[in-house]
Structure 1
Amino acid sequence: MKIGLDILGGDYAPKSTISGAIEAQKVLQKDQRIVLFGDEEEAKRSIEAAGADPSLFDYVHAPENISMHEHPTKAISQKPNSSVAKGFELLKAGEIDSFSSAGNTGAMLVGAMFSVKPIPGVLRPAIATNVPKLKNGYGILLDVGANADCKPEMLNQFAVLGSLYAEHISGTKNPKVALLNIGEEEEKGNILTIATYPLLKSNPKINFIGNAEGRDLFSDNADVFVCDGFTGNIVLKLAESFYAITLKKQLKDDFLERFNYEQYGGSPILGVNAPVIIGHGISSPEAIKNMVLLSKEMIESKFIDKIRSAFN
């Protein structure tokens, strides 16, 4: 198993990404290798300085970095030796089994779409994120930013993708799927949600329970919440700000702590031909570690094959 990691992506890279890789390596099996994309010599020096063994990792020399403010498509084409471009080059060639980065989100989306490409039958891949449930565990929310404008058919597919993720990665049997809306009644919503509802209702591949309002997001009412990427991204950023406020107010609670992005590491792009995970720009070593371990879990579970089967 080869787990690709961009060590140049993120606000605190490469120190944070290398520290996270070292921690992740400690819990991997001998045949599970982390492949580091970045400045090879600098990476080896940093690993050695941290008291770890550089020989425990594989390296791909990619000295260029795509910054957060660069245009994604231009940057990937104009910087072929960047860590993100090299990562997708090897992922496409099958030389690594997954690729993750806390760097430029747009570049990660472009790389995924144009290198490993969407799984046949998938109209648009979606970004998924965890949302904590009040009692325990997590639900899944998607899309949270890959597709600002959606068609009903796309939301119907997001429901299938999210349901598969909840079942095979989160371990939820027969996950309950809800459409995020402004009311519980079937006829409520805008043009998109009204047209999406009957598609979800007649979809035999999901356990659709109807509409869910924003107040239901952290409840046990559903395991998968489906929405367009514009709505999902607003919800995601609101949840992130809510967690930041709890830290400032020094509020301690198990439920509130589960808003901490570090615990799940990153957000997978669901619907492409390989595990691709986007980390938060401010990812800490703990978040990087968990992003690597999520990559490992997606590879081991053969999650991509399960999506292919569902869309075959």
Structure 2
Amino acid sequence: MKIGLDIMGGDYAPKANVLGAIAAHPLLSPKEHLVLIGDTQQIKPLLSENGFNPDHFEYIHTEEVIGMGEHPTKAIVQKPNSSISIGFNLLKEGKLDSFASAGNSGAMLVGAVFSVKTIPGIIRPCLSTFLPKLSGGVGLMVDVGANADCKPDILLQFGILGSLYAENVMGINTPKVALMNIGEEDEKGNMLSLATFPLMKDTQLFNFVGNVEGRDLFNDKADVIVCDGFTGNVMLKLAESFYVLTLKRGLKDEFFDRFNYENYGGSPVLGVNAPVVIGHGISSPLAVKNMIMQSRDMITTGLVGKIQAAFK
């Protein structure tokens, strides 16, 4: 198994990514190898400073980087030697089993679709994020930013993708899938949710439990919450602010501590032909370590193959 990691992506690259790789190494089996993609002249001194044997990793050298503010499609096309472009080429060629980066998220989405392609039958891939539950568990929300505008059949597919991830990677048996709405009643919502609800109600592809509201994000009414990417991204950014606000107010609370993005690593891209994880731009070493472990779990569970089988 070869797990690809973009060392140059993110606000604190390359140091945070290198330290995250070092932290992940003891948790990987001898057959699970990290491939670091980036400037080896910056990577190896950081390994040396931390007393880490560089022979534990494999390296693909490049000095070109896609900046956080660059146009995603233009950057992928115009910078074929960037760490993100190289990572996706290796993934496409089967020389990597997964690829993760805390770099330009738009470039990561474009790169995934251009290289390993969308799984046949899937209209649009989606981004997912994790929701801490008051009961102690964790839920999943899809989509959180890849698709601002959606149609009912796209949301139906998001339900399938989220259910498969929750069951296979998160270990939730028969995940409860719900549609985010402005009310629990069947007839509530805008045109999109009103058209989506009957599709989900009639499907046998996942365990649909009806509509949920914003106040249900962190309870146990659903394991997977489906929404368009515009709504999901607004809720994600709001949820992320809870942790920051508790720190600013000097509050210590175990539940709100679980809103720290570092605990989850990154956002899996669901619906493409290989495991891809997009990390937060401000990813710390802990976040990078968890992003690597998340990539490993997506490989070992055979998630992509199970999604491909579901959409045949």
The TM-score bracket by the shorter chain reads: over 0.9
Deviation at 1:280, TM superposition (A): 0.4
| Structure 1 residue 221, shift from structure 2 partner | 0.6
Identity of aligned residues (%): 62
Q: Distance in 1 between matches of 2:54 and 2:190?
A: 54
Q: Does 1:252 align with 2:252?
A: yes
Give the equivalent residue in structure 2 for 1:212.
Answer: 212
Counterpart in 1 of 2:227?
Answer: 227
* Residue correspondence of structure 1 range 1-312 to structure 2 within 5 A: 1-312=1-312
Partner of 1:75: helix, strand, or coil? helix
Question: 1:167 is matched by which residue type in structure 2?
Answer: E
Cα offset for 1:235? 0.3
CA contact (8 A) 2:133 2:139 kept: yes
Secondary structure at 1:153 match in 2: helix
Question: Match of 2:27, SS?
Answer: coil
Q: In structure 2, how many angstroms separate the alpha carbons of the residues matched to 1:252 and 1:174?
A: 34
1:145-164 C-alpha deviation (Å, 9 max, x unpaired): 00000010000000000001
In the TM superposition, what whole-angstrom CA distance separates every residue of 1:106-153 from its partner, at most 9, and x where no partner exists?
000000011001111111000000011111111100000000000100
In the alignment, the residues of structure 2 paired with residue 83 and residue 248 of structure 1 have an alpha-carbon distance, to the nearest angstrom, of: 35
Give me the whole-angstrom Cα distance separating, in 2, the residues matched to 1:297 and 1:30. Answer: 15
SS at match of 2:148: coil
When normalised by structure 1's length, the TM-score is: 0.99
Residue 26 of structure 1 aligns to a residue whose secondary structure is helix
Equivalent residue of 1:145, what SS? coil
Letter of the structure 2 residue corresponding to residue 22 of structure 1: I
Map Cα deviations across residues 206-247 of structure 1 (whole Å, 9 max, x no partner).
100100000011000110000000000000000011111011
Give the drift of 1:250.
Answer: 2.1
The 1-side partners of 2:264 and 2:150 are apart by 27
Paired AA for residue 57 in structure 1? F
- Helix, strand or coil at the partner of 2:205: coil
Q: TM-score, normalised by structure 2?
A: 0.99
Bigger CA drift: 46-55 or 283-292?
46-55
1:50 Cα deviation from its structure 2 partner:
1.4
What is the CA distance between 1:41 and its match in structure 2?
2.6
Q: Structure 1 stretch 24-33 or stretch 281-290: which is displaced more?
A: 24-33
SS in 2 for 1:131: strand
Q: CA deviation at 1:257?
A: 1.1
The two structures, once aligned, show a CA RMSD in angstroms of: 0.7
Return the letter of the residue paired with 2:91: L
